[in-house]
A and B are shown apart, each in its own frame.
Chain A
Amino acid sequence: MADVLAVAESKHGVLAGVSREAVAVARRIADELGCQVEAAVTGASADELALYGAERIVRLVGDDLRPGQVDAWAAALASRIRAGGYAAVVIAATAAGKDLAPRVAAKLGTSLLTDVTDVTVDAGGILVTRPVFAGKALAQVRAMAVPALLSVRPNVFSAAESPRDATRETAVADTSDRSRGYRVVGFEASSGASIDVSEATIVVSGGRGLKGPENWHLVEDLRDALGESAALGASRAVVDAGWRPHSEQVGQTGKTVTPKLYFAVAISGAIQHLAGMRTSGVIVAVNRDADAPIFGVADYGIVGDAFEVVPRLAEAIRELYEG
C-alpha cells in the first residue's frame, strides 16, 4: 500500500510548528487509505512527530542540503518521492514551503494544490478545499494525479495527537537533479521579526489610524504582552507610507493569515484587508469609528481611541498572564 509522506520543515534546527499540522493531516489521509505515514525531515529534532502519527521518521542528509539551498532540497525530495511511490505528499505552506513545493511538483511532473484548508478522502481519491479570489470563494478540487501533492495552510488544521512507535532512519538524499546556478550569498535579519505573520498564532496589526511609525510601540507592546507566538501585521496604507515593511502586510496583496486571534488596531477593514485575515479564529477590532467595516467581521470590538485602549489592553493581558 502506498503511504503518505509529510515533509517537516525546520528552521535553525528547530521544527516549525506547522510541521506537526502537516503530519496530522498526513495521518488523517493515511487513516482513510489504511496506510502509513512517513515524515521526511529537512533538519534535526523531529522525534516528536511520532506523537502526531508518523510511523517512520526519515532524516534526509547530503552535502548540498544546506539551509536555504531550495534547489537541492527540491531535488532530494523529488527523488525520495519518486522512489517511495506515495499516495499523497503533504507540505506546510510556509514561505519556505511555497518556494519548495512547486519545484518538487514540477520535477515529478505533477500538479500541486497550495494553501489547502480542508482535506477529505472519498472513493474518487483526495478532495481538498482551498480559498480562491482572496477568500471570497472556496474551491473544492480533486487531485487526479498520483501522488496528490498538497501544501497546507498554517494554523488551520489541528495538530491532533495520534501517537505511534516510529522507526527512525537517516537517508542520503540524491540531489543530482538540482538546478545549478542558485547560490545563497547573504541574509539580513529584519529587526524584531522572529516569527512570520503568516505563521503566528496571534497577530496584532496596526493601521493608518496609528498616525505614524513613532507610535508603533503601542502595538509592539501589545504583541509582547501576548507572548512569543504573536507577530505584528500591518495594513497596506501603513506599508505604502513606509512605516512598516511589506513582509508584515496582511491582505490581498500581502500575506494571508489564519491566526487563532487577530487584533485589528485602527484599521478600517477594506475588502482587500479582510481578504487576508477573515478566516482568523477570533477577530478583535479597536477603532474609534463605530461604523468602520472591520466591526462587520470582528467577533469583539471596542469603539475608542487606540492610543487609550491599546496600552490598557496590553496592561490587562500582562496582569492576566503574570498575576
Chain B
Amino acid sequence: MNITVCVKRVPDTETRIRITDDGKDISGDGVKYVLSPYDEFAVEAALQLAEQAGAGEVTLLSYGDAATTESLRAGLALGAHGAVLLTGNPSMDGWATARVLASALKDSEAGLVLFGIKAVDDDQQQVGPMVAELLKRPCATSVTAIDIADGVATCRRSVEGGQEVVEIDLPAVATVTKGRYEPRYASLRGIMMAKRKPLTEKAAPVVEAGLSVEALCYPPQRPEGRIVGEGPEAVPALVRLLREEARVL
C-alpha cells in the first residue's frame, strides 16, 4: 500500500516573528524554516507502516513556494521515496489549501493519506479532515498510533480524558499527533540518496479564497509581574493577592 504524507514548511518555533511594514504578512528575512513538527510524526508513521508492510512507497506532498524543495529533500533523506511540490503561496485559508492538495490526490492510489494534526504557523487544525471530505474518505484525527490489517486502519486517538480507538476503512485519511512515532534523524546515506529521488514540481491550481487576512499585529505585552517573595513564607501573601487583587480564588 502506498502512503502520501502532506507536509508544510513553517518558521521554526524558536524564530522571532517580524511583521512586514504593510502589516499583512511576516518577514521571511532571517527566518529558519522547518517541516511542521507534527508533520514529522506523520512522516515517521508512514515510514514505519511501509517498513512493517515491506512494500509500498511513501510520497510527500506539499503546497508552498519554491524554497519548499529544501524541506522536501529533508523528508526524502528520512526515507520517503518521492515528493511532489505544488508551487504557490498558501494562505491562512485551510479550505483553499485543502482544495489545492485534493486536486493532486484525487486520482491517487494511496491507501492512506496522512497529515500532521496541525501546522504550527497558522494553527488551524483543519486541512486534513477537509481533504478527507473532498476525497470522500473516512478520516481519524489526533491519531497517536496506527495498525493496518485486512483493509482497515485501527487508530488510537488522543481525546479528552483518554484514548479512543476507531477503525477506518481504507482508503482513508488520518491526522497524526505525538504518540507512538518518534521522528528519526536522517543518516548520511539517506541525505546522499535524497538527492537522486524524484521531486516533481508543478504549479498549484488557483482556487478562490474564502478568508482575507486584513492585518497582523503583535499581542499586547503582559503587564510587568512581581515577585511576591521567597520560599514558603511568601505563600500567605500570594494567596491574599490571588484572592483580593486578581480575584481568581
A114-B123, A141-B212, A309-B235 known; A301 and B130 CB under 8 Å? Answer: no
Q: Is B54 an interface residue (CB 8 A)?
A: no
Whether B248 contacts A308 by the Cβ 8 Å rule is no
Interface: A184 (CB within 8 A): yes
> Contact size class for A?
35 or more
Query: With a CB–CB cut-off of 8 A, which chain A residues contact B228?
Result: 300-302
Q: Is the CB of A320 within 8 A of B239?
A: yes
Count contacts between A and B, CB distance < 8 Å: 271
Would A114 and B125 count as touching, CB distance under 8 A? yes
Given the interface pairs A132-B216, A143-B210, the reply to whether A320 lies near B163 with Cβ below 8 Å is: no
- Whether the pair A300, B139 counts as a contact (CB closer than 8 A) is no
Residue of B121, B134, B178 near A132 (CB, 8 A) is B121
Residue A228 interfacial (CB < 8 Å): no
**B133 close to A103 (CB less than 8 A):** yes
**B121 with A68: CB separation less than 8 A:** no
Contacts A137-B216, A144-B210, A261-B248 given; indicate if A182 touches B162 (C-beta within 8 A).
Answer: no
CA distance A246 to B16 in the complex (A): 25
Report the Cα distance A6→B187, complex, angstroms: 51
Query: Which of B64-72, B166-174, B193-201 sits within the interface?
Result: B166-174
Tally of chain B residues near chain A (CB < 8 A): 86
Cβ–Cβ contact B214 & A138, under 8 A:
no
**Are the CB atoms of B213 and A111 closer together than 8 Å?**
no
Q: Could you list some 22 contacts between A and B, CB below 8 A? A: A94-B160, A102-B130, A103-B130, A134-B13, A137-B17, A138-B217, A139-B92, A142-B212, A143-B211, A144-B209, A181-B138, A182-B138, A184-B164, A184-B166, A189-B161, A246-B144, A246-B177, A303-B227, A304-B231, A309-B234, A313-B238, A316-B235
**A-B residue pairs, 7 tightest by C-beta:** A111-B210, A181-B169, A106-B133, A102-B126, A186-B165, A304-B231, A182-B138
What would 13 more interface pairs be, CB under 8 Å, given A179-B139, A249-B178, A317-B239?
A: A68-B166, A99-B129, A99-B142, A132-B92, A136-B17, A141-B213, A179-B136, A181-B138, A187-B164, A199-B160, A246-B178, A282-B248, A312-B232
Q: Which residues of B contact A (CB under 8 A)?
A: 11, 13-14, 16-17, 19, 26, 37-38, 92-96, 98, 120-130, 132-134, 136-142, 144, 154, 158-169, 172, 177-179, 209-219, 222-223, 225-232, 234-236, 238-239, 241-243, 246, 248-249
